Homo-oligomer: A and B are copies of this chain.
């Protein structure tokens, strides 16, 4: 199940959670999702969905063309050119990021970028807030003046400058770069695997989020070189392939749906998570951090033959 359950740290709590489900009220996340109308879900667009195959299994990444259109277009072109096939996960820094790309990126042995693709792209760290359907979270935030959700992604907003940007929450994917802001191209990607490193917000192009298989990236052995790079090439995880879903045969496409964040169902979900009412909790928090709000994803069964 790709849902990010956040339950109680107790063996016996499972029984209590099941018992709570039998009670008529209050409703928890599972009941809210189980009874959500079909219109509360959206199909993930196969034109902006990446599938990374690792020896351990499948990771699916939803891209965010609304926020980093040039980077997303380049990533999609790299995937169509099979750029990442046979490259590797090169870095796992505990409580920070897992990163992948060309282990030889900084040497003459680097894999050439496909013909016609740019080596660098303009910085896409924030965009105009106008035109975005922003669902505001009223609970406050340490780093951004306003936070909320746009089309399933956690977003910060500055009402004064009228800018918006994607947030570095757990599972969010960004583009590695060198010191000049325009030196990323999407060939080197990272995903957040610990406490949200919000200091990176508006400093780098955030391009999407992992919607399935996150645990394959978070449970990798940490690297013990500087910055969490693997000292020994043998410790790297090989990327078998990384492809756009719309280039896969229909039978091999993940059939994923995400909860819409502009719906009453999502509002109810946030309320239920802000004040947990199951019997385990002594003191509901009354507040919720933007990176603590679950963004549920479900996989539909395969179509009938």
Contact = CB atoms under 8 A, between A and B. Distances in A.
A99 interface: yes
Nearest to A97: B9
A285 interface: yes
Interface residues of A, number: 78
Given A10-B176, A13-B179, A179-B279, 8 more contacts: A7-B96, A9-B190, A11-B105, A11-B229, A181-B282, A194-B194, A199-B281, A202-B282
A190 B8 CA distance: 11
Interface stretch (A70-78, A128-136, A137-145): A137-145
A287 B9 CA distance: 31
A12 B281 contact: no
A276 B219 contact: no
Interface stretch (A36-44, A58-66, A220-228, A253-261): A220-228
Q: How many copies does the complex hold?
A: 2
Given A10-B176, A215-B94, A283-B202, A142 B4 contact: no
A276 B197 CA distance: 12
Interface centre among A142, A178, A228 (most CB of B within 10 A): A142
B226 A14 contact: yes
Interface string A228-243: 1100000000000000
A287 B143 contact: yes
A198 B285 contact: yes
B218 A94 contact: yes
A170 B95 contact: yes
A284 B196 CA distance: 16
B169 A199 contact: no
